[in-house]
Structure 1
Amino acid sequence: MKLKFVLSGLLLLGMTGLAELKLPALFSDGMVLQRDQQVAVWGWADPGADVVVSFAGQQKSVKANPDGTFLVRLDTMKASADPRPLAVRAGTDAVEVKNVLVGEVWLCSGQSNMQMAVAAADNFKAEQAAANHPLIRMFTTVRNASPEPLADCRGSWSVCTPESVGGFSAAGYFFGREIQQALGVPVGLIHSSWGGTCIEAWSPLESLAPYPLAMKTKAGYDAGARKFSAAAEEERFAKVHAQWQEKAKTATANGKAAPREPQRRVNPRLNQNYPANLYNAMIHPLVPYGMRGAIWYQGERNAKTYASAMEYRALLENLVTRWRADWNDEFPFYAVQLVNYKAPQTKPVENSAWACIRDSFLNFHKEVPHAGIAVAIDVGMEKNIHPTNKQAVGFRLARQALAKTYGLDVVPGGPIYRSMKKDGDKIVVAFDDIGAGLVAQGGAPLKRFAIAGADRNFVEAKAVIAGDTVVVGSDQVADPVAVRYAWADNPVGCNLFNKDGFPASPFRTDDWAPAAE
């Protein structure tokens, strides 16, 4: 049994806390325990204390370790909407967690598009009024970064109500709502995200050694840390803050808004984007809490260069592999492929890091077991990196889970490129996940297909649905070798869908390296 999760970081809790019974923040009123798993219950007590955990007729006993840690596992349980207490006793100390349900638990992580709240999503007033879901419970991990793995985090559970839903992750909530309604069991959502952060920050540090760009990022932060002076920063901050106070006073006197208050700079080693810092503070403390799987909305930060976008495929699998190792569970993992964004497409193919990272997501979907992506190429916004239609994002993530994790007879998503075959002066493209069949959404013709010969010069192509395939050609290319679809930052009008309403993922049939940046 892996106990590293609860044994590390104890000094960061403070030595005075070791003498009293304490449970992690996740074990608080309103929590949801994962059904059909031997879920872990852990915490801290007096070294050698006899610890007894009681829940739903079960009673498990263990002696606290010499360092004060303890862990027991409950027998598997069926889903239950009956709110019951979980009691933990160690000597004369006792803790009772109230209103505990049993159902499905999912981790919701990533950067700002996962962090984006329900209050910022489409139709919030209507969504808020309808958000009376006592069987949905929401936990948000307080943002924190740490250079060392922590044993606990801060946060608390809340029951989903119109009053509580607005501040929770929109993608997470709409995903959880679909899961709860489809399965009819309690759902617990653990939200742990931070806007503007890179995937390296969410990955264990030792796992990043094989990745040159990740190590280059680390080296840059380390160089900055060596030059950082806390005393010099205090001197600088005192000066700029005094200047700000004067400007704020003047602005207020003139009836104007005060300028933004300056912030202290932190040691780069403590930055939230330093490799592993968010894993240490916002993922490690959650292990080994019982859960069904994870959803992920991140990648924008890693889509700044071709190199980083193309390395993302390996980094994403690395993250999933390491998280699964921590939980000792090959749990499912579903990610959101980056949406359409920026200026609308004007050329047949527009190479960009944003397009390349979508390809990394697509290959992840096709190649990593128990994983998948929600394609969102039709819900983006030209001038807003945070699309407000999070309902579609949550629904599509949920359909991946309902089909692949829970085995429901539903279509998991849209067409996924499978293979190509040359047929004279045309290329025939085949797909998986065609559902009820392929369709040109909004009517023919299909748009945003491009084709190229050996010269790698892509031109706009004519694409026609032929049964379960798409036949692509152009009078300008007599001997085609490659096809691309929706290959641009914002391929407005791309309209290959299945009849079930899901868009096809952008794809390419070639493996040509992008032009130098």
Structure 2
Amino acid sequence: MLALATHALRAEVSLPSIFTDHMVLQRNLANPVWGKATPGENVSVRIDGQIHQTQADANGKWTVKLDPMNAGGPFTLNIEGNNTVTIQDVLIGEVWVCSGQSNMEWPLGRSNDSQLEAKSANYPKIRFITIPRNGTQEPQDDFEGAWEICSPKTVKEFSAIGYYFGWRLLQVLDVPIGLIDNSWGGSMIESWVPREDLQGDPELEAVLTKWDKRMEGYTDETYQQALADYEVAKAAFIAGGKIGNWPHRPSNLARGQMRPANIYNGGVYPIIGYGIKGMLWYQGESNAGEPDRYLKIFPRMLKTYREQWDQGDFPCYWVQLADYKAEHDDPNKRSYWAEMREVQTAFMDRVPNGGQAVIIDVGEGRDIHPRNKRVPADRLARWALAKQYGVDLEYRSPEYESMEIVDNKAILSFKHVRQLYTFDIKEPIGFTIAGEDGQFVWAKAKLVGAKQIEVWSDAVPHPTQVRYGWATNPKVNVYSYNGLPLTPFRTDTPAYLQDQ
């Protein structure tokens, strides 16, 4: 009986699901490996001749750091305590986290040329793992998942942008690539940060207060009742001949992707510390109506991640919002999406080791999910290849630098470009211009030399401001000669950007 009782108190050595067969460890990094065991239990970790020993703490947690390794494999990772865990087919290469909402989550199997792309995806050096959706207010140590080998069968459900990015890196670097897809469609940025990141600022604390009040009295039973009411409404809708709009299926507000800190606790926290090279980010559609709030939260989020990962200011490259919704002819119509793009561009001067992929030419007016995922991935890959891997290629879209008024014309100068180019037609399109009254009209434009554009309108004799691509779905055609689109901009910078 004593022996049985002693055995019952023992906890077997275990690791979280981020450590499984077929995993990729970051090369040239002291990779952390961690798990659980019986408190005080001696734990030994072995790989490729390395031996690291430690002891589980009073809470049964243990961690070691491996010596940095060069790209290669496969290796076997052995963890020994009162029992032995063996992880096989471990590769050493480049590891990237792919996060965001539905456009990052969007699978290869639903993207352009999916049949052809999937059938040709025989790349055993690419490995990936998907973090399941788990919204919670309690930090989680683990999740249900496992690494997979890239193949025509497995790649269809993986993030298209993640896959294309990894594929491009593989072609250039020829080392194993590990991709961690941690994305959730429809998510708000507030859900990606711990509650502490929303404290200390009245506007952000108001978000917490709103949600805390919303959750008062909300239980799983509340959600189940809402589901039952939905089923009744759906049945009535069908019986009535499906006239009008289909009833809206309720979401679980307590466990969903909009509640502050939910995704951080359920999806980010379990992988913090895993060895990575950097992070990709494609999110913002859900926050498009509040660019000033996004301006505050995104840098806080990235700062928190970098501090908690304890791997320095690892690179973060994000995708700017694509063109979307109907085109319109009113140059004075407010566009929250244009303002969000402006904020995303501003991050490049406010976030160390960050960069932006501009895709103002890739979107689809009728769908918030453009099916072309290769182009955004390639533009992200340009940043990584140039900045992290020393590959000689252009990676940054042209950006507005300055304006000079000469007579009735605005001469705009641009940076991060060797030669401007216009697609389809010779004349640049997408410009509007305004005088002191602040009323914009559509403008004429022409290229002037390699890095300047002349903009004017006969209706504005004394111009003061110019905008380009300033709409939710603008018509634009200016690129650098290597095919990177000109970043949308306005010369009249808003106060909230000047004050930050």
Q: Same fold (TM over 0.5)?
A: yes
Residue pairs, 1:469-484, within 5 angstroms: 469-484=452-467
1:459 to partner: Cα distance: 1.6
1:324 corresponds to: 306
Aligned residues: 485
Distance 1:232 1:297 in 2: 32
Contact 2:160–2:373 (8 Å) recurs in 1? yes
Between 206-215 and 356-365, the greater mean CA deviation after superposition: 206-215
Is 1:164 aligned to 2:145, yes or no?
no
2:5 corresponds to: none
Question: For 2:156, what is the secondary structure of its paired residue?
Answer: helix
1:89 corresponds to: 80
1:130 to partner: Cα distance: 1.1
Contact 1:33–1:102 (8 Å) recurs in 2? yes
**Which residue identity does 2:265 align to in structure 1?**
N
1:353 to partner: Cα distance: 0.7
1:272 to partner: Cα distance: 2.3
2:3 corresponds to: none
1:213 to partner: Cα distance: 4.4
Distance 1:326 1:212 in 2: 25
1:179 to partner: Cα distance: 1.1
**Which residue identity does 1:480 align to in structure 2?**
P
Distance 2:313 2:158 in 1: 27
1:128 corresponds to: 118
- In the superposition, relative to structure 1, how do residues 501 and 238 fare at CA in structure 2: closer, same or farther (>3 Å)? closer
Task: Provide structure 2 residue ranges, at least 5 long, that are not aligned to the other structure.
Answer: 1-7
- In the superposition, relative to structure 1, how do residues 349 and 19 fare at CA in structure 2: closer, same or farther (>3 Å)? same
1:482 to partner: Cα distance: 1.5
Contact 1:350–1:489 (8 Å) recurs in 2? no
- In the superposition, relative to structure 1, how do residues 86 and 216 fare at CA in structure 2: closer, same or farther (>3 Å)? same
1:456 to partner: Cα distance: 1.0
Distance 1:75 1:126 in 2: 40
- In the superposition, relative to structure 1, how do residues 448 and 290 fare at CA in structure 2: closer, same or farther (>3 Å)? same
**Which residue identity does 1:510 align to in structure 2?**
D
Distance 1:456 1:261 in 2: 44
Contact 2:237–2:246 (8 Å) recurs in 1? no
Between 316-325 and 459-468, the greater mean CA deviation after superposition: 459-468
Distance 1:433 1:18 in 2: 60
Distance 2:173 2:346 in 1: 30
1:325-356 deviations in whole A, cap 9, x for unaligned?
11122000000000000111313343211111
1:104-147 deviations in whole A, cap 9, x for unaligned?
00000000101110011100111011101111001000110110
**Which residue identity does 2:84 align to in structure 1?**
A
1:497 corresponds to: 479
Distance 1:59 1:498 in 2: 51
Contact 1:46–1:68 (8 Å) recurs in 2? yes
1:238 to partner: Cα distance: 5.0
How much identity, in percent, do the aligned residues show? 39
1:241 to partner: Cα distance: 4.7
Match of 1:399 among 362, 376, 382: 382
- In the superposition, relative to structure 1, how do residues 194 and 431 fare at CA in structure 2: closer, same or farther (>3 Å)? same
1:75 corresponds to: 67
Distance 2:453 2:236 in 1: 66
**Which residue identity does 2:299 align to in structure 1?**
E
Is 1:274 aligned to 2:259, yes or no?
yes
Distance 1:18 1:461 in 2: 75
Distance 1:17 1:194 in 2: 38
Distance 2:220 2:487 in 1: 48
1:22 to partner: Cα distance: 0.9
Residue pairs, 1:353-372, within 5 angstroms: 353-372=336-355
Distance 1:234 1:469 in 2: 60
1:235 to partner: Cα distance: 5.3
Is 1:56 aligned to 2:48, yes or no?
yes
Question: For 1:334, what is the secondary structure of its paired residue?
Answer: strand
**Which residue identity does 1:172 align to in structure 2?**
G
1:185 corresponds to: 175
- In the superposition, relative to structure 1, how do residues 229 and 142 fare at CA in structure 2: closer, same or farther (>3 Å)? closer
- In the superposition, relative to structure 1, how do residues 501 and 220 fare at CA in structure 2: closer, same or farther (>3 Å)? same
Is 1:293 aligned to 2:285, yes or no?
no
Distance 1:421 1:18 in 2: 74
Match of 2:333 among 344, 350, 355: 350
**Which residue identity does 1:393 align to in structure 2?**
P
Distance 2:456 2:234 in 1: 62
Task: Provide structure 1 residue ranges, at least 5 long, that are not aligned to the other structure.
Answer: 1-15
1:513 to partner: Cα distance: 6.4
TM-score (norm 1): 0.88
Aligned-residue Cα RMSD (Å) equals: 2.5
1:413 to partner: Cα distance: 3.2
1:38 corresponds to: 30
1:212 to partner: Cα distance: 4.3
Between 482-491 and 147-156, the greater mean CA deviation after superposition: 147-156
1:35-80 deviations in whole A, cap 9, x for unaligned?
1111100010111111111111111111111111111111111111
